[in-house]
Amino acid sequence: MILDSATALLRLLPAETAHKATIFLTRIFGGLAPAALPPDPRLAVRVLGKTFSNPIGLAAGFDKNAVVPNQMLRFGFGFVECGTVTPRPQKGNPRPRLFRLEEDRAVINRMGFNNDGMAEAAVRLARRPRRGIVGINIGANKDSTDRIADYKTAFGILAPYADYVTVNVSSPNTPGLRGLQGRDELTRLLAVLTARRAEVAPTMPLLLKIAPDLDMQALDDIAAVVTASAIEGLIVSNTTVARPSALKSPLAKEAGGLSGTPLFEPSTHILREVKKRVSPALTLIGVGGISSGAHAYAKLRAGASLVQLYTALAYEGPGLVVRLQRELLQCLERDGFRTIAEAIGAG
């Protein structure tokens, strides 16, 4: 496959240049690639009022501007999440702002919600053939004087073109944004968004993406607010500002959010803690450090109904998605589960 063969060459480029090249190649060649494995009914998951052909999704951050969602679905993802998209176009933080930690199979980014804005994203999503499940991740502009109003505006414009909407209040790269995870601010934000949803898209699933750096009291507060708000799901988790002592790369001290292999254990721990605190009716999506079927399986057993990845693609290419599906099936067979649904929460 062209994109898989190009992965090693792309890693010779600076990280952000490589990402732009990857989007370009995916746009040109992704639609020509043969479709991935035929859907295996054992991997199907029914949540959020939809049937996902498999639980492996592409996390937000790869396709910020909704340029290639359908092409990425062809590589075998069960769903794709575009964004983060803000109301107005935004350049993001100064470069360099994306760093590969090769020795750690990790990435640090401080992109700062660089994107073309909601109007451009809406046009692209409106034009795409509606095949597969595509979500949109929304955020606030860095210089906004009313960030909750930003989320309300972006939801109203983008929800008609998505299968679900994720509210990103957990990026570490927009100063003050994570404050919206506090009890009072989060209560107000979700009240505004659920009211807006009732007006423009009453059946639209609404999810909240949280940080992995929260203490147990903060998780208690988030669980209480989410339960009262009646949103449909939580994505656990975003990147971390922590720097594990085991990191080997000389770039480990760069500012920004850390993703990849070092995030697997802490994000899975937070996922387990969230699962203890919320209703079984709430859909959990596990994100952080997934690069194998065993990783995905661990998050599913910890309580996630779906999982997402991104960083591992930079190291292994899009062929990773099919490999993860095969490895998930091996995990099911080993443990005697007939379907992935039986394994969810079994840990």
Q: Which two tokens stand for residue 259?
A: 């993703």
User: If we measure between CA atoms, which residue out of 58, 84, 52 comes closest to residue 305?
Assistant: 52
Looking up tokens 């099919």 gives 322
Strand (E) or helix (H) holding 80: strand 79-85
Q: What size, in residues, is the chain?
A: 347
User: If we measure between CA atoms, which residue out of 190, 188, 183 comes closest to residue 207?
Assistant: 190
User: If we measure between CA atoms, which residue out of 295, 238, 275 comes closest to residue 55?
Assistant: 295
The answer to whether 75 touches 36, Cβ cutoff 8 Å, is yes
- How many alpha carbons lie under 13 Å from residue 55 in its C-beta half-sphere? 34
Contacts of 323 (CB under 8 A, 6+ apart): 293
First to last CA, the chain: 36
Separation of alpha carbons 325 and 321, rounded Å: 7
- The residues annotated as belonging to the active site are 171
CB atoms within 10 A of CB 227: 14
Phi, psi of 257 (to 5 degrees): -95, 130
Separation of alpha carbons 234 and 224, rounded Å: 13
Q: Which two tokens stand for residue 78?
A: 């069960």
